[in-house]
Structure 1
Amino acid sequence: METRYYIVVSIDGDYANLKRTDIESQDLMLVARALLPQDIKEGSRLKYEMLEYTLES
């Protein structure tokens, strides 16, 4: 399974808009906050690997 990297563009209630940063893309992906780490905020960088999102240090 491939590793993907995202940045949190915006948070809207129970959902967050993520933008992929490891490839050239302008598309945003809407993800339920329940699937994301609790500590996210706009600008947080995330790594998606093995069906799990983690905050990138």
Structure 2
Amino acid sequence: MVDETSRPGDEVAPGTGQSGENLCPRCSGTGKVGGEPCPDCDGSGKVTTLVGDA
């Protein structure tokens, strides 16, 4: 199941064509930065990025 909620670090909105979930580059998928929830992925460790060319 894909979470359809946008996160601050998303390149594109979830569900956009040629996009997919990827590890957050800021926290490397851990969901934490400095012991706090990562601000780019809201602590999920995932962001939506483009994976294909249009």
TM-score (normalizing by structure 2): 0.28
Answer 1 or 2: which has greater helix percent.
Answer: 1
| TM-score using structure 1 length | 0.27
Greater percentage in strand: 1
Specify the structure having the higher radius of gyration (Cα).
2
Greater RCO, 1 or 2 (C-alpha within 8 Å, sep 6+): 2
